[in-house]
Amino acid sequence: MRRAQPALMICVFMLLMLSVKYSSAEYTPVDLSLSTFSDGTTKVEYQVECDPEKLRVNVALFGPPFINLVIYDEEGYPLGSSTDGHYVTVDSLGASELRFTYLTYNLTFFDGAIWSVNVTSPVETSIVLPKRAAFFDMSIIPINIGTIGEKQYFLFEPGGIAVYYILGLPRLDEEADSSIMKAESYISVKEAEGYILTGARELLSQAQELFDEGQYLEAKNNADDVLGIAVSIQENAYAALVEMQKAENAVDEAEAEGRTDGLIESRLNLNNSRDYYEEGKYQQAKISAQHAYEQAISAKESSEFSIPYIGILVLGVISAAGIYLKKR
């Protein structure tokens, strides 16, 4: 009897192996498609081939629990089923194809601002991102990339797949158009107030050209830069006006106090500052006005023995000497 035990164990083992082999050959995966949505749900569409002579087939699905699960055969007839964890037992007698459709929350994950959809698939798999989602990263290189309407999709070979994306981003063309409009509005208002923004206006025209060419990211960045430049120019213009008024007050004060020595240079710089301002050269206007102010506050009262008076005295001495010599 003991000699029969090893033989019996071998027979049982072979039967188990045949059972496992038979079970694993119950169906053949054909196609898998995952369509993700902005609320974190994923629509799963899975197709397998099976033996039409089998009464029931156990199929492993992805991301249980399965919400609104429906199963059709190749002719579109619904089939009955029962679920146990990852597995669905389908009443498949007579069906050569099974098509599963359901929703699940357990294939997408959220970390900070980044979403991901993850699956390990036995067949080529297409993943469709939500509308206006911005692709961020992926675990493997896809074999194809495309769009379906306003949605982006990727096709992957079988294996472990992870696609990362960001939701809630506005359309880039709308952002670029908004930035251009803001810059245009600001420049127009300031030009109406008398400011000269020629440089900013030229840069804005370049941003508009990029937008017209469909280069929305570059157009947005340029328009944002233009707005910053226009604001900076206006601030320089205001600062120049302040410095010009400050220099003018210093000149008037020096004249009232009789401090005229050095005011010629101060007035010259003040006039240059005004010319620069009229030309829209606000930084140069500011610098010239600052020089005018410094010269005005440094101006001193004229001395009796300053160069003009010394010159007159020298001329007097020379004249007197000439008269004396003539008399002799």
At residue 230, the 3 state secondary structure works out as helix
* pLDDT for position 134: 81
- Of the candidates 41, 215, 224, 48, the one whose C-alpha atom is nearest the C-alpha of residue 115 is 41
Which token pair is 60?
């492993």
Average pLDDT, 10 consecutive residues per value, the chain (328 residues): 42 39 68 93 96 93 94 93 94 94 94 89 94 85 88 93 82 83 89 87 89 82 87 89 92 88 88 91 91 89 55 49 50
Q: Which amino acid is at 222?
A: N
* pLDDT for position 12: 40
* pLDDT for position 169: 58
Q: How many residues does the chain have?
A: 328
Sheet holding 81-84, edge to edge: 56-60, 87-91, 81-84
Q: Please state whether the predicted TM-score (pTM) of the whole model is above 0.75.
A: no
* pLDDT for position 7: 45
Which token pair is 87?
């597995």
* pLDDT for position 131: 83
Q: How many CB atoms lie within 10 A of CB 114?
A: 13
What burial letters (b/e) apply to 92-107, b meaning 16+ CB within 10 Å? Answer: beebebbbbbbbbeeb
Look up tokens 């999709």; give the residue. 153
165 phi/psi in degrees, rounded to 5:
-155, 165
